[in-house]
Amino acid sequence: MALVNRKIGYDEVETRDIKFKMDASKVSKHWFANDPWNTHFMNGIFAAVPDGERWVMQSVRKQLDSLTDPAIRKAGIEFIHQERIHAREHDIMNKACIEHGIPLDVIENNFKKVRVFLQKHLSDSAQGAVGAAFEHFTATIASVLIEHPEVFEDTNPELLGMLYWHFVEETEHKSVSFDVFTDATGAGTKSYLMRVSAMAAAGVVGGFVFVVPFGYLLYKDKQLTNFASAKRFFRTQFTNPGVLTKLGKMYFPFFRRDFHPWDDDNRAVIHAWKKEYNKSGDTTKAFHALCDWLAENKGLELPKQQGSVHALAV
């Protein structure tokens, strides 16, 4: 299946240089549906996004001259452009969180120390394998949240516009790091072993990256004993929609020899977003179009949003 899927998706990757006007009024202290636990879980991930995006950009850039497939090279260049813009916009979002007293800068600085250590001790190819592994994680999280916007009820609509732009683009380029690494290293047994070793390590490191910052932020925000929020968090992450449950299910297929990220072909849902954005240039309208598509095709409801009268009952 991977040989068939290897060529799909490259024409999906587009650079959109969008500048969102994010500030502390739009990124509230508990911006994820007014829920502290879910917010800080995502904050712990987003704190590492700017430096992480720049790291995978550098990794892909270093591998470009080793590529034999011009389609992969073109997608790699678009990937670099997309990630540069993602890093820039998440710098702004993280700054807004810090203005609320949420110490995302502490988490980012710690992540940078880990990144510097890995860059110092890993070869360019090994870093490419790590990049492919972490991009698989981010693409999986994006794919779950793209199909479940109802979890963002009462979230600022402009912030949702930014988040769903990012989720769509993470989906567009979900195979790029994987294919760049595979093409650059020759796709043989050595490449496969390097890839699965990186994923095994990323599973351990990723657990640390998820759990420790999450607990730290809850502690700093005095929310560790907010049991109502904890209940909502466990429902969101493990049952409905089950972000972490589905992330776990997508983890093990990566170890198959014939695995490819586009084995999970979810282009149809992002096409609804892209069609509206290409027409209007408005990420909020594109988000509503995506929700309408999900309501029509999967029976989901559009979440209620701050300052919005657009609600859909099904």
- At 114-167, the pLDDT tens digits run 899 989 999 999 999 999 999 999 999 999 999 999 999 889 999 999 999 999
Q: Does 304 score more than 80 pLDDT?
A: no
Average pLDDT over the chain reads 90
Region 10-34 average pLDDT: 93
Residue in 292, 284, 48, 276 with CA at minimum distance from that of residue 162: 284
Tokens of 179: 């294919």
Q: What DSSP string describes 42-63?
A: HHHHHTTHHHHHHHHHHHHHHH
310: confidence class by pLDDT, cuts 50, 70, 90: very low
Helices (H), 100-156: 104-121, 124-146
Contact by Cβ (8 Å): 60, 242:
no
What residue type is assigned to position 95 of the chain? Answer: K
Q: Write out the two tokens for 190.
A: 């050595």
Task: Give bridge partners of residue 155 from the DSSP assignment.
Answer: 305
The 10 Å CB-count burial string (b at 16+, else e) for 243-263 is bbebbeebbeebeeeebbbbe
Residue range 30-46: mean pLDDT, rounded:
96
Residues sharing a CB contact under 8 Å with residue 52, sequence separation 6 or more, in sequence order: 111, 115, 134
Confidence class of residue 302 from pLDDT cuts 50, 70 and 90?
low
Range 306-312 average pLDDT: 41
Nearest-angstrom CA–CA distance, 243 and 273: 21
Q: Per-residue pLDDT for 306 more than 70?
A: no
Picking from 111, 129, 143, the residue whose alpha carbon sits closest to that of residue 247 is: 143
Mention every residue, 6+ apart, whose C-beta is less than 8 A from residue 247.
Answer: 137, 140, 141, 144
Length of the chain: 314
DSSP 235: I
Residue 4 has pLDDT above 50, yes or no: no
Half-sphere exposure of 312 (CA within 13 A, CB side): 17
| Residue 89: Cβ within 10 Å count | 20
**pLDDT digit string, tens, across residues 220-239:** 999 999 999 999 999 999 99
Q: Write down the pLDDT at residue 305.
A: 57
| Mean pLDDT, range 86-114, rounded to an integer | 96
pLDDT higher than 60, residue 5: no
Q: What is the pLDDT of residues 163-215, one digit of tens each?
A: 999 999 999 999 999 999 999 998 889 999 999 999 998 878 777 777 899 99
Which pLDDT score, from 0 to 100, does residue 240 have? Answer: 87
Q: What is the pLDDT of residue 57?
A: 95
**Dist CA 61 CA 164 (whole Å):** 26
Percent pLDDT > 70 in the chain is 93
With b for 16 or more beta-carbon neighbours within 10 A and e for fewer, the 207-231 pattern comes to: eebbeebbebbbeebebeebeebbe
Q: Are 284 and 165 in contact (CB under 8 A)?
A: no
Most confident of 29-33, 237-241, 304-308: 29-33
Residue ranges of domains in the chain, CATH in brackets: 2-265 (1.10.620)
- Position 107 scores a pLDDT of 94
Q: What are phi and psi of 155, to 5 degrees?
A: -95, 145
Contact assessment for residue 261 and residue 139, using Cβ atoms and an 8 Å cutoff: yes
Mean pLDDT is lowest, of 5-9, 257-261, 283-287, for: 5-9
| More confident site: 292 or 202 | 292
